[in-house]
Amino acid sequence: MLETENDSAPRVGIAPDSWGVWNASDEAQPAPAQYLREVQEAGYHWTELGPFGYLGTDPMRLRDDLARHDLALSGGTVFTNLHRGPAEVETAWADVREVAHVVRELGGEHVIVIPGMWERGDDGAVQGERTFSAEEWTPFLAGHDEIGRRLVEEFGLRQQFHSHAESPIGSYREVVRLLEGTDARYTNLCLDTGHLAYYWGDSVRLIREFPSRIGYLHLKQVEPDLLADVLKNEISFADAVKQGVMVEPPLGVPEYGPVLTEAAAANPGIFAIIEQDMYPVGDFSRPLPIARRTREYIEGCGAPARFH
The closest of 249, 251, 260, 253 to 307, measured between CA atoms, is 260
Residue 41 burial (CB count, 10 A): 12
pLDDT at 121: 86
pLDDT at residue 2 tops 80 = no
Q: What is the pLDDT of residue 118?
A: 79
Mean pLDDT lowest among 47-61, 120-134, 187-201, 254-268? 120-134
What is the mean pLDDT of the segment spanning 127-134? 89
Q: From the CB of residue 156, how many other CB atoms can be counted at a distance below 10 Å?
A: 10
Domains of the chain in sequence order: 11-299 (3.20.20.150)
Is pLDDT at 1 greater than 70 in this prediction?
A: no
pLDDT tens-digit series, residues 216-237:
999 999 999 999 999 999 999 9
Instruction: Provide the CA 173 distance to its chain's centre, in angstroms.
Output: 19
Assign 222 to helix, strand or coil: strand
For residue 120, the model assigns a pLDDT of: 87
Instruction: List, in sequence order, the alpha helices (H) in 181-275.
Output: 193-198, 203-209, 224-232, 237-243, 256-266
Look at residue 3 and tell me whether its pLDDT is greater than 50.
no
Residue 224's nearest CA partner among 197, 191, 258, 243 is 197
Closest CA to 279 of 240, 225, 221: 240
What's the distance, CA 296 to chain centroid? 21
Taking 60 as the threshold, does the pLDDT of residue 83 lie above it? yes
HSE-CB at 40 with a 13 A cutoff on CA atoms is: 13
pLDDT (tens digit per residue) in 281-293: 999 999 999 999 9
Confidence of residue 5 (pLDDT cuts 50, 70, 90): low
Mean pLDDT of the chain: 96
Whole-structure pTM value? 0.95
